[in-house]
Amino acid sequence: MIKIFRTLPKLASAALLGALIVGPQAKAQAPAAEPGLTATTIKIGMFGPLSGPSMAYGFDVVNAARMYFDKINREGGIHGRRIEVVVEDDRCTANDVVAAVKKLVEQDQVFMLNGGSCSAPVVAARDYVVRSGVPWVMLNASGDGALYPPQPNIFGALSISQRAVGGSTIEFATRQLSAKRIGYINHDDAYGAWNLEAARFQAAQNGAELIVESINPAIADVTAPVLKLRAANVDAIIIATYARPAQLILKKAQELNVNKPIVIAVNAIANLRQLVENVGSREAFRNVYIQELLAAAPGSEKLAWVYDLYKQSYPELAAKPDHPQVYMPYGIPPAMVIVRALQAAGPQPTRAKVIAAIEQLNFDSGVMAGPISFSPTDRAGQKASIYFRFDGQAMTPVPGVFASRWTYQGQ
Q: Which residues contact 28 (CB under 8 A, 6 or more apart)?
A: none
| Residue 218 within any structural domain of the chain | yes
Regarding whether 255 and 156 lie in a shared domain, the answer is: no
pTM attached to this predicted model: 0.87
Strand 112-115 to 41-48 pairing: parallel
Domain shared by 278 and 361, yes or no = no
Asked whether residue 343 falls in the same domain as residue 235, the answer is no
106 with 252, same domain: the answer is no
Does the pLDDT value for residue 231 go beyond 90?
yes
pLDDT band, very low/low/confident/very high, at 12 (cuts 50, 70, 90)? very low
Q: Is residue 12 part of a domain?
A: no
Q: Judge if 367 and 392 occupy the same domain.
A: no
Examine the domain organization and report whether 257 and 396 are in the same domain. Answer: yes
Report the sign of the C-alpha dihedral through residues 65, 69, 71, 72, in that order: positive
Listed residue (21, 266, 16, 243) closest to 157, CA to CA: 266
Same domain, 143 and 167: no
Residues 148 and 248 in one domain: no
Return mean pLDDT, the chain: 91
Say if residue 152 is in the same domain as residue 203: no
> From CA 179, how far away is CA 100, in angstroms rounded?
45
* Residue 260 and residue 393 in one domain: yes
By three-state DSSP, how is residue 116 classified? Answer: coil
On whether the CB atoms of residues 387 and 176 are closer than 8 A, the answer is yes
User: Does residue 177 lie in a domain region?
Assistant: yes
For residue 324, say if its preceding peptide bond is cis, omega within 30 degrees of 0: yes
pLDDT attached to residue 410: 79
363: domain CATH number? 3.40.50.2300
Which of these, 227, 212, 215, lies nearest to 182 by C-alpha position? 212
Q: Determine, yes or no, domain membership for 100.
A: yes
Measured CA distances, 117 to 65, 120, 149 (Å): 12, 9, 20
What is the predicted pLDDT for the residue at 351? 98
Please tell me the total count of domains within the chain.
2
Residue 306 domain-assigned (yes or no): yes
The answer to the question of residue 72 being in a domain is yes
With respect to residue 4, please indicate whether it lies within any of the assigned structural domains.
Answer: no
> Is 27 inside a domain boundary?
no
Q: Report DSSP letters for 63-97, one per residue.
A: HHHHHHHHHHHHTT-BTTBEEEEEEEE-TT-HHHH
Q: Provide the domain limits for residue 45.
A: 41-160+298-380
What pLDDT digit, counting tens, does each position of 108-133 carry?
999 999 999 998 899 999 999 999 99
Q: pLDDT tens, 368-380?
A: 999 999 998 899 9
Residue 32's pLDDT is 55
Rounded mean pLDDT of 103-108?
98
Based on the domain organization, do 286 and 356 belong to the same domain? no
- In a shared domain, residues 125 and 238: no
User: What's the confidence (pLDDT) of residue 411?
Assistant: 58
Q: Rounded to an integer, what distance in angstroms lies between the CA atom of residue 218 and that of residue 410? A: 32
Question: In this predicted model, what pLDDT tens digit does every residue of 189-221 receive, in sequence order?
Answer: 998 999 999 999 999 999 999 999 999 999 999
Beta-ladder partners of 114: 46, 137
Q: What percent of the chain has pLDDT over 70?
A: 92
